[in-house]
Amino acid sequence: MYEELVVIALGGNAIKQAGEKGTTEEQFANVDITAKQITRICKAGYLQVLTHGNGPQAGALLIQQEEAKDLVPPQTLACCGAMTQGQIGWMFQNRIGFHFKNEGLDYPVSTMITQVVIDKNDPDFQDPSKPVGPFYTEAEAMALKNDKGYIIKEAKPGEVKSWRRVVPSPKPIDIYEKKSIKQLLDIEALVIVSGGGGIPVVEESDGSFSGVDAVIDKDLSANKLGQVLNADYLLILTDVEHAFINFNKPDQKALETITLSEAEKYQEEGQFASGSMGPKMDAAMRFVRWGGKASIITSLDKALDALNGKTGTRIVKD
């Protein structure tokens, strides 16, 4: 019987590594590595809800829609978000189920296509910020801006290919399927939800919900999941073992256990870049501010050690 619930936000490296093309085989290989870590966490006694990003996959699907538009009707970004939830959820469900079986863990693994409620007046619709799809050189990016009307921003200054397409990224307000997720947790299922941050939907005047062309930040969506599910921990997995202050400077320092007030102070100082650690720290602080026991940021291979307090950046109440 599980005693504590952890919401895990998986970074892009859990599905596709930098430099890879993103073939089905490559993605399954990465997901298999992740599934082994998830299995270790389950064996340690934690009930888990998983969420993940979908930037590369959604971006690739958008390109496919545009290139094939003369052959078949192109699907919307909201629809691409739904498709990537099914695609990536299947991969995790397949490999986690396999490793659970090998370890004698008799727990269901389920993927739920998840809608996340947003505000149609969110300011990010006026200034889109979420990168999707591949990286481009400046020349390639400007050509796409002129030819296809992409909104383009520089994502990794200093790199040869540092530009990406960006789309609106509204803040999550509620998880539409929260009751169904809770029912799955009641039977101790491992649930994969809100993939890619969830399908953004807005409530219409007649009470229905309509999809919106946007991509919600998966870490903020994970924070909202943690709140509506009354989770104990928010675990954000990325490609570094700790968050840092004075990053890439001579006095760079890895953050271990810090209070919410300390984290807020570092945030005000601009220690966490908006294109990398910023959204993760923001989500982590929101979860602790709400009332979670702790938020933890670490690398995939250190996930269980970090949950057990041995490594990672841990944000706790004052």
Q: Is 278 a residue of the active site?
A: no
Residue 232, phi then psi, degrees to nearest 5: -85, -40
| Catalytic site residue from 11, 55, 89, 130 | 130
Q: Tally Cβ neighbours within 10 Å of residue 57.
A: 26
Is 13 one of the catalytic residues?
Answer: yes
Write down the catalytic residue from 54, 89, 97, 218.
218
94 in catalytic set: no
Among the listed residues 13, 145, 178, 278, the single catalytic one is 13
Residue 239: which residues within 8 A CB-CB, separation 6 or more? 11, 13, 299, 300
Where residue 270 falls (left for φ over 0; alpha for ψ -120 to 50; beta otherwise) is: left
Cα separations (Å) of 208 from 83, 110, 117, 174, 235? 21, 26, 11, 15, 33
To the nearest 10 degrees (0 to 180), the angle between helices 24-43 and 77-102 is 50
- 35: how many CB neighbours lie within 10 A of its CB? 23
Distance in angstroms (rounded) separating the CA atoms of residues 107 and 249: 46
Please say if 148 is a catalytic residue: no
Catalytic residue from among 53, 133, 198, 280: 280
Known active-site residue 308: no
List, by residue number, the catalytic residues: 12-13, 130, 218, 280
